[in-house]
Amino acid sequence: MDEADRDAIAEAVRRAELRTAGEIVVVIDRAASSYRNVAVVLALALALFVPWPLLSLTAISAQRIFMTQLFSAALLLGSLLWYGRGGRFVPGFVKRRRAHEAALREFTARGLTRTKGRTGVLLYVALQERYAEIIADTGIDGLVDQETWRAIIEPLIAAAREDRLTEGLIAAVDEVGAVLAQHVPPVPGDVDELQNKVILL
């Protein structure tokens, strides 16, 4: 995503916020987690099985078996960290949970809980996990059902899969703006409380 794409999304946020008292923040995360701990646990678990055939089939000393196990653990760890980068061994439900946790952290970190009227909405995308989520603050959350947000997220994920992330985000921002305009229309003296720029992590 180049600067022109980011500017186009920021402009979509600015236009959407003209119709509402709500605030929209777009965060694009390259990866919600590195998943290194998964490779470490898997390598150590596999290394536990190394001594058993050596103990039962050979007369190697315990010290040599222990050294073989250590070497195997190191080799497995290096291999799994390289081959498993990007969470290749991680189940989908774990990736989704990590991405959801990252979205919640970003929601707080970006000041969305401090807006006037608690009308902040986060549009979060985790590229590696192929995950997107909309999180709304308390001033909006009770007014909009999750099915409405899901209907916005599904086309966004489809667009991202087709390498049309910018187009998908602009459409999603427009739809979020329409939802906010319906529930929290602009009020006199309303100011833009948060920056409209796209946040890349």
Q: pLDDT tens digits for 41-60?
A: 777 777 777 777 776 777 77
pLDDT-wise least confident of 2-6, 69-73, 104-108, 118-122: 69-73
- The DSSP element (H or E) to which 159 belongs, if any, is helix 146-161
- Taking only the tens place, the pLDDT of each residue in 151-181 is 999 999 999 999 999 999 999 999 999 999 9
Confidence of residue 104 (pLDDT cuts 50, 70, 90): very high
Going from the N-terminus, what domains does the chain have, and what CATH number goes with each?
A: 3-33+90-200 (3.10.310.50), 36-83 (no CATH)
CA neighbor of 180 nearest in space, from 12, 20, 13, 14: 20
32: Cβ contacts below 8 Å, ≥ 6 apart:
95, 98, 99, 101, 102, 103, 126, 128, 129, 131
Strands, sheet with 199-200, edge to edge from the N-terminal-most edge strand: 131-136, 120-126, 23-29, 199-200
